[in-house]
Structure 1
Amino acid sequence: MNQSLVHSLLRAVGLVVFGLLLLSPVLVQWPAQDLVPYLQWKLIAAVWFYMLVLSLFRSFWPGLLLLLPAALLVPQEVFYLLTYQKSTDAHAMAIVAETDLNEALGYLTGIGLFLALAVVAIVLLWWYLLRSAWQGRWQWEKGLRPVIWLICIGVAASLSWNEWQYQQINKAKQRSNPEENVFVQRPLPYSYEKFHATYPLNMLIALNEFVKQKQAVADVAESTALFKFSARQTDAPAQRQIYVLVIGETLRPDRLQLNGYNRATTPRLSGTKNLISYTNMVSPWAWTRMSVPVILSRKSATDQRYFPTETSVVAAFKEAGFSTAWLSTQSPLGVHDSSIALHASEADQVQYLNPVGYKKEGFYDDILLPAFERVLQQNQQKQLIVVHTLGSHFSYADRYPPAFDLFTPSGKGQSISMHDQSSSLLLNNAYDNSVAYTDFILFNLIKQLEQTDSISSLFYVSDHGENIFDGQCNKSGHGHNTERDYRVAALLWTSELYNLQYPQKKSYAEQRREQPLMTSNVFHSLLDLAGIEYPDQKLTKSWVSPQWRPSSRILQQGLDFDLAKRDPVCAELTP
Structure 2
Amino acid sequence: MLIFWPGGFLVNSSLLHSLFRVFGLILFALVLLSPVLLQWPQQDLMPFLQWKLIAAVWCYLLVLSLFRSLWPGLVLLLPAALLVPQEVFYLLTYQKNTDAHAIAIVAETDLNEALGYLTGVGVFLAVMVAAILLLWWYLVRSAWQRQWRWEAGVRPLVWLIGIGVLASLGWNEWQYQQINKAKQRSNPEENIFVQRPLPYSYEKFHATYPLNILLALNEFVRQKQAVADIAQDLALFKFSAKQTKAPEARQIYLLVIGETLRPDRLQLNGYNRATTPRLAGTKNVISFTDMVSPWAWTRMSVPVIISRKSPVDQRYFPTETSLVAAFQEAGFNTAWLSTQSPLGVHDSSIALHASEADQVQYLNPVGYKQEGFYDEILLPAVERVVQQNHTRQLIVLHTLGSHFSYTDRYPESFDLFTPSGKGQAISMHDKKSKVMLNNAYDNTVAYTDFILFSLIKQLEQTQSISTLFYVSDHGENIFDGQCNKSGHGHNTERDYRVAALLWTSDAYNQQYPHKKALAEKNRQQPLSTSSIFHSMLDLADIQYPDQKLSLSWVNPAWRTSPRLLQQGLHFDTAKRVGICQELQSP
Bucket of the pairwise TM-score, normalised by the shorter protein: over 0.9
Matches within 5 A, 1:279-358: 279-358=289-368
How far does residue 186 in structure 1 lie from its aligned partner after superposition?
A: 2.6
2:565 aligned with 1:555: yes
User: How far apart in 1 are the matches of 2:496 and 2:230?
Assistant: 28
Q: 2:553 aligns with which of 543, 554, 560?
A: 543
How far does residue 177 in structure 1 lie from its aligned partner after superposition?
A: 4.0
Deviating more after overlay: 97-106 vs 504-513: 97-106
User: How far apart in 2 are the matches of 1:433 and 1:237?
Assistant: 40
User: How far apart in 2 are the matches of 1:469 and 1:190?
Assistant: 36
Question: Which residue is 2:169 aligned to?
Answer: 159
Question: Which residue is 2:459 aligned to?
Answer: 449
Aligned CA distance change for structure 1 residues 445 and 181 (closer, same or farther; 3 Å): farther
User: How far apart in 1 are the matches of 2:43 and 2:450?
Assistant: 39
Question: Which residue is 1:439 aligned to?
Answer: 449
Look up the SS of the partner of 1:279 in the other structure: coil
2:434 aligned with 1:424: yes
2:61 aligned with 1:67: no
Q: Which amino acid aligns with 1:365?
A: D
Q: Which amino acid aligns with 2:468?
A: L
Is residue 95–residue 332 contact of structure 1 (8 Å, CA) maintained in 2? yes
Question: Which residue is 2:262 aligned to?
Answer: 252
Is residue 373–residue 448 contact of structure 1 (8 Å, CA) maintained in 2? yes
User: How far apart in 2 are the matches of 1:184 and 1:465?
Assistant: 21
Look up the SS of the partner of 1:317 in the other structure: helix
CA RMSD of aligned residues (A): 1.0
**What is the CA deviation profile of residues 510-559 of structure 1, one whole-angstrom value per residue up to 9, with x for unaligned ones?**
00001010000000000000000000000000000000000000100000
Question: Which residue is 1:484 aligned to?
Answer: 494
Q: Which amino acid aligns with 2:233?
A: S
How far does residue 28 in structure 1 lie from its aligned partner after superposition?
A: 1.2
How far does residue 300 in structure 1 lie from its aligned partner after superposition?
A: 0.4
Aligned residues, how many? Answer: 574
Is residue 286–residue 479 contact of structure 1 (8 Å, CA) maintained in 2? yes
Question: Which residue is 1:242 aligned to?
Answer: 252
Look up the SS of the partner of 2:14 in the other structure: helix
User: How far apart in 2 are the matches of 1:209 and 1:181?
Assistant: 13
Question: Which residue is 2:476 aligned to?
Answer: 466
Look up the SS of the partner of 2:289 in the other structure: strand
Question: Which residue is 1:6 aligned to?
Answer: 16
Is residue 260–residue 473 contact of structure 2 (8 Å, CA) maintained in 1? yes
**What is the CA deviation profile of residues 276-318 of structure 1, one whole-angstrom value per residue up to 9, with x for unaligned ones?**
0001000000000000000000000000110011100000000
Aligned CA distance change for structure 1 residues 433 and 301 (closer, same or farther; 3 Å): same
User: How far apart in 1 are the matches of 2:335 and 2:257?
Assistant: 13
Q: 1:374 aligns with which of 361, 381, 384?
A: 384
Is residue 289–residue 523 contact of structure 2 (8 Å, CA) maintained in 1? yes
How far does residue 187 in structure 1 lie from its aligned partner after superposition?
A: 2.0
Look up the SS of the partner of 2:123 in the other structure: helix
Q: Which amino acid aligns with 1:152?
A: G
Is residue 24–residue 78 contact of structure 1 (8 Å, CA) maintained in 2? yes
User: How far apart in 2 are the matches of 1:528 and 1:568?
Assistant: 40
User: How far apart in 2 are the matches of 1:247 and 1:185?
Assistant: 25
Q: Which ranges in structure 1 are unaligned for 5 or more consecutive residues? A: none
Q: Which amino acid aligns with 1:8?
A: S
Question: Which residue is 1:29 aligned to?
Answer: 39
How far does residue 179 in structure 1 lie from its aligned partner after superposition?
A: 5.1
How far does residue 445 in structure 1 lie from its aligned partner after superposition?
A: 0.3
Q: Which amino acid aligns with 1:416?
A: I
How far does residue 3 in structure 1 lie from its aligned partner after superposition?
A: 5.8
Look up the SS of the partner of 2:128 in the other structure: helix
Question: Which residue is 1:86 aligned to?
Answer: 96
User: How far apart in 2 are the matches of 1:100 and 1:375?
Assistant: 13
2:111 aligned with 1:98: no
User: How far apart in 2 are the matches of 1:311 and 1:550?
Assistant: 25
How far does residue 170 in structure 1 lie from its aligned partner after superposition?
A: 1.8
**What is the CA deviation profile of residues 360-405 of structure 1, one whole-angstrom value per residue up to 9, with x for unaligned ones?**
0000000000000111111111000001100001111100001111
Q: Which amino acid aligns with 1:188?
A: L
**What is the CA deviation profile of residues 194-253 of structure 1, one whole-angstrom value per residue up to 9, with x for unaligned ones?**
111100000000000000000000000000001000000011111110000000000000
**What is the CA deviation profile of residues 166-200 of structure 1, one whole-angstrom value per residue up to 9, with x for unaligned ones?**
11122211233445453123321111111111000
Look up the SS of the partner of 1:156 in the other structure: helix
Is residue 192–residue 223 contact of structure 2 (8 Å, CA) maintained in 1? no
Question: Which residue is 1:192 aligned to?
Answer: 202
Question: Which residue is 2:408 aligned to?
Answer: 398
2:236 aligned with 1:226: yes
Is residue 190–residue 196 contact of structure 2 (8 Å, CA) maintained in 1? no
Look up the SS of the partner of 1:229 in the other structure: coil
User: How far apart in 1 are the matches of 2:63 and 2:115?
Assistant: 31
User: How far apart in 2 are the matches of 1:181 and 1:538?
Assistant: 33
Deviating more after overlay: 406-415 vs 532-541: 406-415
Is residue 184–residue 197 contact of structure 2 (8 Å, CA) maintained in 1? no
Question: Which residue is 2:7 aligned to?
Answer: none
User: How far apart in 2 are the matches of 1:429 and 1:195?
Assistant: 37
Is residue 179–residue 304 contact of structure 1 (8 Å, CA) maintained in 2? no
Look up the SS of the partner of 1:326 in the other structure: strand
Question: Which residue is 2:284 aligned to?
Answer: 274
User: How far apart in 1 are the matches of 2:491 and 2:37?
Assistant: 44
Q: Which amino acid aligns with 1:223?
A: D
User: How far apart in 2 are the matches of 1:302 and 1:382?
Assistant: 33
Look up the SS of the partner of 1:425 in the other structure: helix
Q: Which amino acid aligns with 1:203?
A: I
Q: Which ranges in structure 2 are unaligned for 5 or more consecutive residues? A: 1-11
2:80 aligned with 1:55: no
Question: Which residue is 2:5 aligned to?
Answer: none
User: How far apart in 2 are the matches of 1:179 and 1:55?
Assistant: 42
Q: 2:515 aligns with which of 491, 502, 505?
A: 505
Look up the SS of the partner of 2:395 in the other structure: strand
Is residue 181–residue 306 contact of structure 1 (8 Å, CA) maintained in 2? no
Question: Which residue is 2:423 aligned to?
Answer: 413
Look up the SS of the partner of 1:493 in the other structure: strand
2:527 aligned with 1:517: yes
User: How far apart in 2 are the matches of 1:11 and 1:182?
Assistant: 48
Is residue 63–residue 73 contact of structure 2 (8 Å, CA) maintained in 1? yes
Question: Which residue is 1:110 aligned to?
Answer: 120
Question: Which residue is 2:582 aligned to?
Answer: 572
Is residue 181–residue 335 contact of structure 1 (8 Å, CA) maintained in 2? no
How far does residue 131 in structure 1 lie from its aligned partner after superposition?
A: 1.1
**What is the CA deviation profile of residues 111-136 of structure 1, one whole-angstrom value per residue up to 9, with x for unaligned ones?**
11111111111111111111111111
Is residue 98–residue 352 contact of structure 1 (8 Å, CA) maintained in 2? yes
User: How far apart in 1 are the matches of 2:568 and 2:516?
Assistant: 33
Is residue 258–residue 400 contact of structure 2 (8 Å, CA) maintained in 1? yes
User: How far apart in 2 are the matches of 1:480 and 1:530?
Assistant: 36
Q: Which amino acid aligns with 2:158?
A: I
Q: Which amino acid aligns with 2:338?
A: S
User: How far apart in 2 are the matches of 1:155 and 1:179?
Assistant: 33
2:142 aligned with 1:132: yes
